[in-house]
Amino acid sequence: MNVPHPIALKPRKAPVQARSAAKVEGITEATIQVLLAEGPRRLTTTRAAQRAGVSVGTMYQYFPHKEALLYDVLRRHLEAVAQAVEAASARYRGQPLATMTDGLVNRYIDAKTARADASRALYLVASELDTTALMGRLRERIRTATIALLGSAADAEFDDIETAAFTLLAAMTGTLRTMFEQDTTPAHVHALRTQLTLMCQAYLEKATRPMR
């Protein structure tokens, strides 16, 4: 029989002991390695377990099914991105609109490119995962932080800050994703930093009234 829905994506047991934590970490890392070295088609539970040096049975003690392996990697990545946006929101609060936009875009790109290899690999398998709940939760964190940031601009006021934040974030995430799915050279990333900043600044200028 197939796995029934809905699926629990958390590890089966919390790694309370240091030995267990290391094992979970090893399995997760082995999963990334197999994915990058052999491709998504050859990422199987047996191969990941073998690479991690444990039996399939042991692996299933820590991860209830294959999806959970990748889910854990994805979760860490997305949480780092959300945290970067929240940090940018705090850091650039009250600045002029152009300054905060520059900061937000570049901190976001930093977070996305920090572990570019893993996040690129994740895009390859992301659709095999049921990420609806995870994505929703993290999108909400990012959305809240962005609205707080935009609302604090020293020199501009928004007519519809919710729509502006939604559009801004859709453009940022979508553009980065499009770039990652193609071949990404450092030169591309650099050009995109400038262009995406320019685009977001130009858009937000149009979506605001100047203050004073």
Partner DNA sequence: ACCTGAACACCGTTCAAGT
- C-beta closer to its own copies: residue 90 or 198: 198
**Is 92 in contact with 99 (CB distance < 8 Å)?**
yes
Pairwise CA distance, residues 27 & 126, whole Å: 18
Choose which of 26, 33, 36, 64 interacts with DNA (CB under 7 A).
64
Nearest to 146 by CA among 132, 158, 134: 158
Choose which of 36, 80, 98, 126 interacts with its own copies (CB under 8 A).
126
Residues 67-96 that bind its own copies (CB under 8 A): none
Taking the complex as a whole, the smallest distance from the CB of residue 58 to DNA amounts, in Å, to 4
- C-beta closer to its own copies: residue 18 or 187: 187
102 binds, among its own copies, DNA, none (CB under 5 to 8 A by kind): none
What residues contact 127, with CB distance under 8 A and at least 6 apart? none
The alpha carbon dihedral of 86, 88, 89, 90 has a sign of positive
Choose which of 10, 12, 13, 42 interacts with its own copies (CB under 8 A).
42
34 near DNA, judged by CB under 7 A: no
**Is 168 in contact with 203 (CB distance < 8 Å)?**
yes
Choose which of 26, 33, 36, 65 interacts with DNA (CB under 7 A).
65
What residues contact 186, with CB distance under 8 A and at least 6 apart? none
Residues 151-210 that bind its own copies (CB under 8 A): 163-164, 166-167, 169-171, 173-179, 181-182, 191-192, 195-196, 198-199, 202-203, 205-207
Q: What DSSP element (H or E) covers 46?
A: helix 45-52
Cβ atoms within 10 Å, residue 59: 23
Q: At what angle do helices 18-38 and 66-91 cross, to 10 degrees?
A: 100
- C-beta closer to DNA: residue 66 or 107: 66
Contact footprint for its own copies (CB under 8 A) = 2-3, 40-42, 123-128, 135, 139, 163-164, 166-167, 169-171, 173-179, 181-182, 191-192, 195-196, 198-199, 202-203, 205-207
